[in-house]
Amino acid sequence: MASFLEIPPATDAGDSPPPDTALRRRSPSPALLATLEKKFGARFSRSTAVLLQHGTDESAYPPAPPDAVVFVTNTDEVAFVVQACAHERVPVIAFGAGSSVEGHLLAVQGGVCIDFTQMNVVLAIRPEDMTATVQAGVTRSQLDAALAGSGFFFSVDPGADATIGGMAATGASGTNTVRYGTMRDNVRSLTVITAGGEIVRTASEARKSSAGYNLTQLYCGSEGTLGLITEATVRLHPRPEITAAAVVNFPTVRAAVDCVIQAVQAGVVLARAEMLDALTIRAINAHSHLSMLERPTLCLEFGGGQAQVDEQAEWVRQIAAECGGGEFQWATRQEDRSRLWTPRHHAYFAVLQLRPGSRCLTTDACVPISALADCIEETVIDIAEHCLLAPVFGHVGDGNFHCLVLVDPNDRSEVELAEAFSQRLVRRALRHGGTSTGEHGVGLHKIGYLVEEHGEAAVAVMRSIKRALDPLDILNPGKVVTARA
Amino acid sequence: MASFLEIPPATDAGDSPPPDTALRRRSPSPALLATLEKKFGARFSRSTAVLLQHGTDESAYPPAPPDAVVFVTNTDEVAFVVQACAHERVPVIAFGAGSSVEGHLLAVQGGVCIDFTQMNVVLAIRPEDMTATVQAGVTRSQLDAALAGSGFFFSVDPGADATIGGMAATGASGTNTVRYGTMRDNVRSLTVITAGGEIVRTASEARKSSAGYNLTQLYCGSEGTLGLITEATVRLHPRPEITAAAVVNFPTVRAAVDCVIQAVQAGVVLARAEMLDALTIRAINAHSHLSMLERPTLCLEFGGGQAQVDEQAEWVRQIAAECGGGEFQWATRQEDRSRLWTPRHHAYFAVLQLRPGSRCLTTDACVPISALADCIEETVIDIAEHCLLAPVFGHVGDGNFHCLVLVDPNDRSEVELAEAFSQRLVRRALRHGGTSTGEHGVGLHKIGYLVEEHGEAAVAVMRSIKRALDPLDILNPGKVVTARA
Say whether A237 sits in a helix, a strand or coil: strand
Is B212–A240 a contact, with Cβ atoms under 8 angstroms apart? no
Nearest-CB residue to B210 (from A127, A170, A266): A170
Beta carbons of A229 and A172 less than 8 angstroms apart: no
Q: Which chain A residues are closer than 8 Å to B83 by Cβ?
A: none
Is B171–A446 a contact, with Cβ atoms under 8 angstroms apart? no
Percentage of the residues of chain B whose pLDDT score is greater than 70:
96
Q: Which of A238, A265, A280 is the last residue of a domain?
A: A238
Test mutation, A170, A198, A207, A220, chain B, max B CBs within 10 A: A207
Q: Which chain A residues are closer than 8 Å to B212 by Cβ?
A: 221, 442, 450, 453-454, 458-459, 462, 480-481
User: Are residues B253 and B205 part of one domain?
Assistant: no
**pLDDT score of A485:** 38
Is A213–B480 a contact, with Cβ atoms under 8 angstroms apart? yes
Nearest-CB residue to B207 (from A369, A430, A440): A369
Mean pLDDT throughout B36-48? 98
pLDDT: is B266 or B375 the higher one?
Answer: B375
Say how far apart CA B471 and CA B194 lie, in whole Å.
11
Q: pTM score, two decimals?
A: 0.95
- Give the chain B residue nearest A224 (alpha carbons): B213
Q: Is residue A3 part of a domain?
A: no
Task: Write the secondary structure of chain B as one string of H (helix), E (strand) and C (coil).
Answer: CCCCCCCCCCCCCCCCCCHHHCCCCCCCCHHHHHHHHHHHHHHEECCHHHHHHHCCCCCCCCCCCCCEEEECCCHHHHHHHHHHHHHHCCCEEEECCCCCCCCCCCCCCCCEEEECCCCCCEEEEECCCCEEEEECCCEHHHHHHHHCCCCEECCCCCCCCCEHHHHHHHCCCCCCHHHHCCHHHHEEEEEEECCCCCEEECCCCCCCCCCCCCHHHHHCCCCCCCCEEEEEEEECEECCCEEEEEEEECCCHHHHHHHHHHHHHCCCCEEEEEEECHHHHHHHHHHHCCCCCCCCEEEEEEEECHHHHHHHHHHHHHHHHHCCCCCCEEECCHHHHHHHCHHHHCHHHHHHCCCCCCEEEECCCECCHHHHHHHHHHHHHHHHHCCCCCCEEEEHHHCEEEEEEEECCCCHHHHHHHHHHHHHHHHHHHHCCCECCCCCCCCCCCHHHHHHHHCHHHHHHHHHHHHHHCCCCCECCCCCCCCCC
User: Are residues B142 and B261 part of one domain?
Assistant: no
Test mutation, B126, B152, B173, B210, chain A, max A CBs within 10 A: B210
Q: Is residue A135 part of a domain?
A: yes
Q: Which chain B residues are closer than 8 Å to A315 by Cβ?
A: 305
Q: Which of A197, A220, A238 is the last residue of a domain?
A: A238
Distance from CA of A283 to the nearest CA of B (A): 28
Is A458–B200 a contact, with Cβ atoms under 8 angstroms apart? yes
In the predicted model, is pLDDT for residue B243 greater than 90? Answer: yes
Cβ-Cβ contacts under 8 Å for A274 (sequence gap 6 or more): A175, A298, A299, A300, A344, A393, A394, A395, A396
Q: Which chain B residues are closer than 8 Å to A211 by Cβ?
A: 435-437, 442, 446, 449-450, 453-454
Q: Which chain A residues are closer than 8 Å to B433 by Cβ?
A: 204-206
Domain of residue B421, CATH code? 3.30.70.2740
Distance from CA of B103 to the nearest CA of A (A): 14
Nearest-CB residue to B458 (from A202, A217, A261): A202
Tell me the per-residue pLDDT of B201-225, one tens digit each, with 9 for 90 and over. 999 999 999 999 999 999 999 999 9
Give the start-end residues of each E strand in A297-407. 297-304, 329-331, 359-362, 392-395, 400-407
**pLDDT score of A484:** 55
Q: Is residue A97 part of a domain?
A: yes
Interface predicted TM-score (ipTM) = 0.95
Nearest-CB residue to A198 (from B201, B366, B457): B457
Is A307–B308 a contact, with Cβ atoms under 8 angstroms apart? yes
User: Are residues A343 and A359 part of one domain?
Assistant: no
Could you tell me how many CB contacts below 8 A there are between chain A and chain B?
309
User: Are residues B29 and B86 part of one domain?
Assistant: yes
Q: Is residue A366 part of a domain?
A: yes
In the predicted model, is pLDDT for residue B294 greater than 50? Answer: yes
**pLDDT score of B120:** 98
Nearest-CB residue to A208 (from B182, B215, B265): B182
Is A307–B307 a contact, with Cβ atoms under 8 angstroms apart? yes
Distance from CA of A382 to the nearest CA of B (A): 22
Q: Which of A238, A271, A289 is the last residue of a domain?
A: A238
Is B398–A207 a contact, with Cβ atoms under 8 angstroms apart? yes
**pLDDT score of A348:** 85
Domain of residue A299, CATH code? 3.30.70.2190
Nearest-CB residue to B210 (from A221, A264, A311): A221
The band of B15, judged by pLDDT with boundaries at 50, 70 and 90, is very low
User: Are residues A337 and A379 part of one domain?
Assistant: no
User: Are residues A135 and A91 part of one domain?
Assistant: no
**pLDDT score of A105:** 95
User: Are residues B375 and B304 part of one domain?
Assistant: no
Say how far residue B375 (Cα) sits from the centre of its chain: 21
Is A221–B240 a contact, with Cβ atoms under 8 angstroms apart? no
Distance from CA of B412 to the nearest CA of A (A): 28
Is A267–B305 a contact, with Cβ atoms under 8 angstroms apart? yes
User: Are residues B151 and B8 part of one domain?
Assistant: yes
Tell me the per-residue pLDDT of B120-163, one tens digit each, with 9 for 90 and over. 999 999 999 999 999 999 999 999 999 999 999 999 999 889 99
- In chain A, which residues have pLDDT < 70? 1-3, 9-23, 483-485
Indicate the residue type of A301: E
Is A370–B308 a contact, with Cβ atoms under 8 angstroms apart? no
Say how far apart CA B54 and CA B95 lie, in whole Å.
7
Mean pLDDT throughout B197-201? 98
Q: Is residue A473 part of a domain?
A: no
Is B213–A455 a contact, with Cβ atoms under 8 angstroms apart? no
Test mutation, B189, B461, B469, chain A, max A CBs within 10 A: B461
Q: Which chain A residues are closer than 8 Å to B214 by Cβ?
A: 171, 184, 214, 217-218, 220-221
- Give the chain B residue nearest A208 (alpha carbons): B438
Domain of residue B70, CATH code? 3.30.465.10
**pLDDT score of B347:** 87
Q: Which chain B residues are closer than 8 Å to A203 by Cβ?
A: 435, 454
- Give the chain B residue nearest A190 (alpha carbons): B458
**pLDDT score of A8:** 75
Nearest-CB residue to B446 (from A211, A238, A481): A211
The band of B357, judged by pLDDT with boundaries at 50, 70 and 90, is confident
User: Are residues A370 and A321 part of one domain?
Assistant: no
User: Are residues B69 and B218 part of one domain?
Assistant: yes
**pLDDT score of B10:** 59
Q: Is residue A374 part of a domain?
A: yes
Nearest-CB residue to B457 (from A199, A441, A481): A199
Say how far residue A74 (Cα) sits from the centre of its chain: 24
Q: Which chain A residues are closer than 8 Å to B370 by Cβ?
A: 126, 128-129
**pLDDT score of B17:** 43
Is B210–A266 a contact, with Cβ atoms under 8 angstroms apart? no
- Give the chain A residue nearest B186 (alpha carbons): A185
Distance from CA of A366 to the nearest CA of B (A): 6
Residue A256, classified by CB atoms within 10 Å of its CB into exposed (0-12), middle (13-18) or buried (19+), is buried
**Which range, B4-13, B67-76, B169-178, B411-420, has the best average confidence (pLDDT)?**
B67-76
**pLDDT score of A359:** 87
Q: Is residue A466 part of a domain?
A: no
Is A220–B200 a contact, with Cβ atoms under 8 angstroms apart? no
Is A211–B130 a contact, with Cβ atoms under 8 angstroms apart? no
- Total count of domains within chain B: 3
How many angstroms separate the Cα of A23 from the Cα of each of A20, A109, A265, A449?
Answer: 8, 6, 49, 20
**pLDDT score of B348:** 85
Nearest-CB residue to A457 (from B199, B369, B457): B199
**Domain membership of residue A282 as a residue range:** 242-349
**pLDDT score of B96:** 97
Please state, rounded to an integer, the average pLDDT across all residues of chain B.
Answer: 93
Is A441–B266 a contact, with Cβ atoms under 8 angstroms apart? no
Q: Which chain B residues are closer than 8 Å to A480 by Cβ?
A: 212-213
User: Are residues B439 and B484 part of one domain?
Assistant: no
**pLDDT score of B4:** 73
Cβ-Cβ contacts under 8 Å for B38 (sequence gap 6 or more): none
User: Are residues B382 and B248 part of one domain?
Assistant: no
**pLDDT score of A340:** 87
Nearest-CB residue to A310 (from B199, B204, B307): B307
